[in-house]
Structure 1
Amino acid sequence: RNLYAALGVTSVDEIPLETLTAVLQYHVVPARAFSQDLRQGASLPTLLTGKNLTVNLSDLKINDAGLVAEALNIHATNGVIHVIDKVMLPQ
């Protein structure tokens, strides 16, 4: 639902494949980065070529999305997940 609202659509069928791919790639960093590895002001490259995420530890944000403190460092098969409070759209 958050993605639909951010893009102004009501169904995944309304999202062009290129847009959906770009949004998903923008949320993934090609490294296993635990919260303790994040540094203030760090610029993290994403899977979306040429797009980076900026770390703001004083506000617990990645770009303008807030990190959910109780949902950090969730281990996954091929990485680690940090839950954020909104969908980030690449500019």
Structure 2
Amino acid sequence: MNETDIAEARQRLHILRGFEVAMSRRDEVFETVEAAADADEARTKLSERFDLSEHQAQAVLSLQISQWSTGMREWRTAEIARCEELLKGADPA
């Protein structure tokens, strides 16, 4: 695996972990977004309340409603495992 592949896998894993946080606290995420005045405030509040990076919070805001389904959650869990496997043995960032 080259450096570009490693960087992409790390970034993907970072975003997927943000999704997992949001999925596990879905009602709180929806309340936070609904209470925000606009997308910028929602992103900031998601970052603060759920300890998400700006990239993770933006990715959560960009999720379509269909991506909150059980099937997609199962796919994300498998994708996290795949990324972690790809990164095994890679030099730490």
Tell me if both proteins adopt one fold, taking TM over 0.5 as the criterion. Answer: no
Q: TM-score, normalised by structure 2?
A: 0.31
Q: Which has the higher contact order (CA 8 A, sep 6+)?
A: 2
Larger strand share, 1 or 2: 1
Larger helix share, 1 or 2: 2
Larger-Rg structure: 2
Q: TM-score, normalised by structure 1?
A: 0.32
